[in-house]
Amino acid sequence: MRFLADMGVATGVVSWLRQNGHDAKHLRDEGLHRIPNGEIFAKAISENRIIITFDLDFGEIVALSKKEKVSVILFRLHNTRTAHLINRLSTVLEDSAEALGQGAVCSGSRGGITTSCA
C-alpha cells in the first residue's frame, strides 16, 4: 500500500510502514511543512496514496469529493505516542485493507477502530 503521512504523524510511523513493505512518504521528508489540506488531498490522489492524519478536515474533504477515490486513516487518540499509533494503524490495516483500496475513511479512536466507506 502507498501512504502519505500528514505533519502531525510521527516519522517513526512512516519508518514502520516502510519496514513492513509499504511505500510511505511523510510531508516533512518532502519539505511540505505548510502545504494546504486541499493540496495534500490532490497529492494523495495523483500519487494513489492513503492519507494518515489527525486532522478532521480530511474526512470532510473526502465526503465532499465524491468523484475522487482517496482513502484517509484519521486518528482521534489521546495517546499519540509512536508505539501506540503503530498498534492502532496495524489494526486498521489488518481489518480494513480492502476498504482502503476502494476509497474509505477509517477512523481510530480510544474506543476502537471504525471503518466507513466514503
- Mean pLDDT across the stretch 63-75? 75
Query: Cα-Cα-Cα-Cα dihedral of 90, 112, 78, 32, to 10°?
Result: 50
What global pTM score does this model have? 0.87
Q: Check residue 13 and give its pLDDT.
A: 96
Confidence band of 118 (pLDDT split at 50, 70, 90): very low
Residue 82's domain spans which residues?
Answer: 2-117
The enclosing domain of 29 has a CATH number of: 3.40.50
Give the burial class of 49: count Cβ atoms within 10 A of its Cβ; 0-12 exposed, 13-18 middle, 19 or more buried.
Answer: buried
The count of domains in the chain is 1
What is the C-alpha R_g of the chain?
Answer: 13
**Top-confidence residue, 45 or 69:** 45
Tens of pLDDT, residues 1-41: 999 999 989 999 999 999 999 999 999 998 888 888 888 88
